[in-house]
């Protein structure tokens, strides 16, 4: 069997910012932003803050986080932690436990204050590193 991923060099993610949230622990976090998550601050590092130019209040954006408490050795989970459901591969779920624990969050920009964005709703816990921000594409573009 081909082992495609062997021999490809690992890449180093440098966080561009951090989530400041009232959610302190993973146990307190809803499973998705739409499930009662609060708004939070996304504090962007001064060195990359120029990259925010063009983001406007009221828009939806995609925030990519590094779910630093994710268990990277996990390959199968019971969806939504429900043990009555059969195991599924992590790539067929949004589990934070996965080989590269990237979180993908579609949020609305509520406010912009210098290099801080008020965004939400978002289920990421306080201190979660942010690694990228992207615009939402229209259906025609995606």
CA 32 to each of CA 1, 23, 78, 80, 124: distance values in angstroms, whole numbers, following the listed order? 36, 13, 16, 10, 9
* Closest to 95 measured CA to CA, from 109, 115, 65, 75: 75
Binding mask 5-34 for a copy of itself (x = CB under 8 A): xx-xxxxxxxxxxx-------------xxx
Nearest approach in angstroms of CB 25 to a copy of itself is 18
Among 39, 64, 112, 118, binds a copy of itself (CB under 8 A): 64
Q: Confirm or reject binding of residue 58 to a copy of itself (CB under 8 A).
A: no
Among 78, 110, 116, 118, binds a copy of itself (CB under 8 A): 116
Q: Do you find a cis peptide bond into 25, omega within 30 degrees of 0?
A: no
Rounded CA separation 66/69 (Å): 9
Q: Confirm or reject binding of residue 141 to a copy of itself (CB under 8 A).
A: yes
Q: Confirm or reject binding of residue 123 to a copy of itself (CB under 8 A).
A: no
What string of H, E and C letters represents the secondary structure of 39-61?
CEEEEECHHHHHHHCCCCCCCEE
Nearest approach in angstroms of CB 46 to a copy of itself is 5
Give the Cβ contact number of residue 64 at 10 Å.
Answer: 16
The footprint of a copy of itself on this chain (CB under 8 A) covers a number of residues equal to 67
Among 39, 78, 102, 108, binds a copy of itself (CB under 8 A): 102
* Closest to 95 measured CA to CA, from 30, 31, 27, 37: 31
Give the footprint of a copy of itself on this chain (CB under 8 A).
1-6, 8-18, 32-34, 43-48, 50-55, 61-62, 64, 66, 68, 75-76, 87-94, 98-100, 102, 104, 106, 114-116, 129-135, 137, 140-142
């Amino acid at each position: 069997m081909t082992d495609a991923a062997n021999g490809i060099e690992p890449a180093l993610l440098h966080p561009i910012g951090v989530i400041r949230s009232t959610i302190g622990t993973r146990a307190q976090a809803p499973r998705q932003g739409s499930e009662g998550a609060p708004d939070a601050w996304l504090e962007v590092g001064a060195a990359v803050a120029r990259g925010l130019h063009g983001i406007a209040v009221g828009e939806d954006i995609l925030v990519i986080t590094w779910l630093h408490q994710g268990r990277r050795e996990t390959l199968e989970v019971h969806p939504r932690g429900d043990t009555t459901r059969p195991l599924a591969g992590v790539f067929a779920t949004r589990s934070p436990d996965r080989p590269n624990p990237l979180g993908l969050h579609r949020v609305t920009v509520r406010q912009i204050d210098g290099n801080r964005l008020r965004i939400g709703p978002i289920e990421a816990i306080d201190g979660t590193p942010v690694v990228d921000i992207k615009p939402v594409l229209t259906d025609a573009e995606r």
